[in-house]
Chains A and B, each alone.
Chain A
Amino acid sequence: MSEETQEPRATIRHRRRWSSVWLVPLLALIVAGGLVWKHYAGRGPIAYVRFETAESVKAGVTEVRCLSVRVGVVERVDLADDVRSVVAEIRMDPDAEHLLREGSRFWVVKPRVSGASISGLSTIVEGAYIELEPGETTLPVHHFDGLEEPPVTPSSVPGLRLTLVAEDAGSLASGSPIYYRGFEVGRVERRRLDIENRRIRFDIFIKEEYSSLVRQGTCFWNTSGIDVVAGADGFKISTPSFQAMLSGGAVFAVPKGGVAGEPAQDGAVFQLYPDEDAARKSIFTPDHRILLYFDQSVRGLSPGAPVEFRGIPLGRVVEISFRHSPPGDSRVPVVIEIDSLTLGKAVEDIQDSTAVLAECVRRGLRAKLSTGSLLTGALFVDLDFVPGAAPAQLAKVGEYDVIPTESSGLAQLQDKLNSILTKIEALPLDDTLEKFGTAADEISITVKDLRGTLSEAEGALAEAKKLLARDETQNLTAELEATLKQVRTSVDSLGPQGAMQGDLARTLDELRAALRSFKVLSDSIEEKPNSLLFGREGSGDPKPRAKQR
Chain B
Amino acid sequence: MEIRSAAEQGLASCHLCGKVSPVDLGECPRCGCKLHLRKPHSLERTWSFLIAAIAFYFPANLMPIMSVGGLGGTSHDTIMSGVLNFWKKGDLLVAIIIFAASILIPILKMLALVWLCLAASGKTRTSPKNLARLYHVTELVGRWSMVDVFVVAILVSLVQVGALSSVLPGPAIVSFAAVVVLTMFAAMSFDPRLLWDQHADRDLPDTP
Contacts and interface: CB of A to CB of B under 8 A. Distances in A.
Interface of A: 1-2, 5, 7, 13, 19, 21-22, 24-25, 27-29, 31-33, 35-36, 39-40, 58, 60-63, 73, 125-127, 129
A1 B74 CA distance: 63
B52 A125 contact: no
Contacts of B62: 36, 39-40
Given A21-B49, A63-B74, 6 more contacts: A1-B8, A24-B182, A32-B57, A35-B171, A36-B58, A60-B75
B55 A25 contact: yes
B113 to A, nearest CB: 13
Given A33-B55, A126-B163, A21 B44 contact: yes
Interface of B: 7-8, 10, 23-24, 26, 37, 40-41, 44-45, 47-53, 55-59, 62-63, 71-76, 163, 171, 175, 178, 182
Chain A CB within 10 Å — which of B10, B49, B52, B182 has the most? Answer: B52
Contact of B23 (A2, A22, A31, A125): A2
A24 B181 CA distance: 12
Contacts of B74: 61, 63, 73
A54 to B, nearest CB: 14
17 contacts: A2-B23, A2-B24, A13-B40, A19-B41, A21-B41, A21-B44, A25-B49, A25-B50, A27-B52, A29-B51, A32-B57, A35-B175, A36-B62, A40-B62, A61-B75, A73-B74, A127-B71
Nearest to B46: A21
A127 B44 contact: no
Nearest first, the 6 closest Cβ-Cβ pairs linking A and B are A28-B52, A61-B73, A25-B51, A35-B59, A127-B72, A32-B55
A60 to B, nearest CB: 5
A62 B72 CA distance: 8
B55 A126 contact: no
Contacts of A40: 62
Contacts of B26: 7
Given A2-B23, A29-B51, A60 B59 contact: no
Contact of B59 (A19, A25, A32): A32
Contacts of A73: 74, 76
B88 to A, nearest CB: 13
Contacts of B41: 19, 21
A28 B63 CA distance: 16
A2 B10 contact: yes
A515 to B, nearest CB: 91
Contact of A39 (B51, B55, B59): B59
A545 B24 CA distance: 147
Contacts of B8: 1
Given A31-B56, A39-B59, A58 B73 contact: yes
A24 B52 contact: yes
Contact of B51 (A2, A28, A31, A62): A28
